[in-house]
């Protein structure tokens, strides 16, 4: 990990501040290109940086060698030890001017076209399938972490950072949104790559609605809002290693997803429900989602219907 004195970036503007650090738009003084600088404060152990941080950074570097079109480029990293307890790590990524949240806010009053939503979803799932095939969970997918270039290219950002952040010091009591968290995380049971598929389902619905699907105020409230849509899962699907009993929630039956996302077509509704499946083992994978009928063109669907 390089010393920051060798870095050649000039800060232009602060573009975001989170619980763990600040993000700046900066100019590479050698190439003239814009980059995003993410400063993260990391607790230092007696051997310097925690092994987990070094491992995560090595993983980011390895993934970047593939140069996947739907994953943000990771360009540089350096570390400055501030004290025995703290090191400031600076991560350098390519800069993209807008995220999906901004993109949706700027959409015309009529909303995004069905073809645009399909294209964005295909790209999002393509980036996710790539991460998952390399055994990387994003763990914090939300519209703010999905970048959209001026040409409409989707790039996943902040993947791999969730684990760096999770074991390090929070600077401010920023409330991390619950709205894209799957039931297994809300219930604090074990989880794996299906967590990202649930979040993707929430984002898929939001592309049509232009507002979040589940807006809970606490973990329990969030689960309650989820069950109002998908119904209370059967007893056999309720995880056994959680402290919250199933009986804590009212017995609700699933409502048609089109009640909440009326503009979605039949294939899209099927795919959305396969993403918003309570049992993570039954949730569709990113790779399987890309093969879904929703992404087949109309001509292919007509041919299938005629067979």
Pairing of β 146-148 and β 34-43: unpaired
> What single DSSP character describes residue 237?
G
- The CB-side HSE value for 259 (13 A sphere, CA atoms) comes to 7
Instruction: Evaluate the CA torsion angle 233, 235, 241, 243 in order and state its sign.
Output: positive
Query: According to the model, what pLDDT value does residue 166 have?
Result: 47
Contacts of 264 by beta carbon, 8 Å cutoff, 6+ apart: 205, 208, 257, 258, 272
Q: Are residues 59 and 131 in the same domain?
A: no
Q: What is the CATH number of the domain that holds 90?
A: 3.30.200.20
| 67 and 189 part of one domain | no
Is 196 an annotated catalytic residue? no
Number of separate domains in the chain: 2
Determine contact, residues 146/156, Cβ cutoff 8 Å: yes
Query: End of a domain among 42, 74, 94?
Result: 94
- Do 72 and 203 belong together in one domain? no
Q: Has residue 303 been placed in a domain?
A: no
Q: Do residues 254 and 271 share a domain?
A: yes
pTM, whole model, 2 decimals? 0.88
**Has residue 88 been placed in a domain?**
yes
Cα 104 to Cα 134: distance, rounded to the nearest angstrom: 29
What is residue 243's DSSP assignment? S
For residues 88 and 34, is the Cβ–Cβ distance under 8 A?
no
CATH number at residue 234: 1.10.510.10
Question: Among 84, 99, 115, 140, which one carries the catalytic annotation?
Answer: 140
Beta bridge partners of 81: 87
The residues facing 10 across adjacent strands are 27
List the beta bridge partners of residue 92: 37, 76
Task: Locate all alpha helices (DSSP H) within 106-166, ordered by sequence.
Answer: 114-133, 161-166
Task: Show pLDDT as tens, one digit a residue, over the chain (307 residues).
Answer: 666 656 789 999 988 765 556 789 999 999 999 999 988 777 777 666 767 677 778 888 888 888 999 999 988 888 887 777 778 888 899 999 899 999 999 999 899 999 999 999 999 999 999 999 988 888 889 999 999 999 999 999 887 565 554 444 444 444 557 899 999 999 988 888 999 999 999 999 999 999 999 999 999 999 999 999 999 999 999 999 888 999 999 999 999 999 999 999 999 999 999 999 999 999 999 999 999 999 987 656 566 656 5
Whether 84 and 229 map to the same domain: the answer is no
Same domain (yes/no): 104, 60? no
Same domain, 48 and 82: yes
* Residue-range definition of the domain harbouring residue 197: 100-156+177-294
Domain co-membership, 63 together with 116: no
Tell me: do 228 and 105 sit in the same domain.
Answer: yes
Distance separating the N- and C-terminal Cα atoms of the chain:
58
What are residue 27's DSSP bridge partners?
10, 34
One domain, residues 122 and 224: yes
Is residue 126 domain-shared with residue 249, that is, in the same domain? Answer: yes
Q: Does the residue 114 lie in any domain?
A: yes
User: For residue 303, what pLDDT is reported?
Assistant: 60
Give domain status of residue 306, yes or no: no
């Amino acid at each position: 990990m390089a010393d920051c004195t060798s870095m050649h970036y000039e800060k232009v503007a602060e573009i975001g501040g989170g619980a763990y650090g600040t993000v700046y738009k900066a100019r590479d003084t050698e190439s003239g290109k814009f980059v995003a600088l993410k400063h993260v404060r990391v607790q230092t152990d007696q051997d310097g940086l925690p092994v987990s941080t070094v491992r995560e950074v090595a993983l980011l570097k390895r993934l970047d060698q593939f140069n996947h079109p739907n994953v943000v480029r990771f360009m540089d990293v350096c570390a400055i030890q501030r004290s025995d307890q703290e090191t400031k790590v600076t991560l350098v990524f390519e800069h993209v001017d807008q995220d999906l949240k901004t993109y949706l806010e700027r959409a015309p009053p009529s909303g995004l076209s069905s073809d645009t939503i399909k294209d964005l979803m295909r790209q999002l799932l393509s980036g996710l399938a790539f991460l998952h095939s390399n055994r990387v969970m994003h763990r914090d997918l939300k519209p703010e972490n999905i970048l959209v270039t001026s040409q409409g290219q989707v790039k996943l950002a902040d993947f791999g950072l969730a684990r760096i952040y999770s074991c390090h010091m929070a600077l401010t009591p920023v409330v991390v949104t619950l709205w894209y968290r799957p039931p297994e995380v809300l219930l604090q049971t074990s989880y794996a790559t299906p967590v990202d598929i649930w979040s993707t389902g929430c984002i898929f619905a939001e592309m049509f609605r232009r507002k979040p699907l589940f807006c809970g105020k606490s973990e329990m409230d969030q689960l309650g809002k989820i069950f109002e849509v998908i119904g209370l899962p059967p007893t056999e699907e309720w995880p056994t290693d959680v402290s919250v009993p199933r009986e804590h929630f009212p017995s609700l039956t699933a409502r048609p997803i089109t009640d909440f996302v009326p503009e979605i077509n039949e294939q899209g509704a099927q795919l959305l429900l396969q993403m918003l499946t309570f049992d993570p083992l039954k949730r569709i994978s990113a790779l399987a989602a890309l093969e879904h009928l929703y992404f087949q063109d109309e001509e292919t669907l007509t041919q299938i219907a005629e067979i």
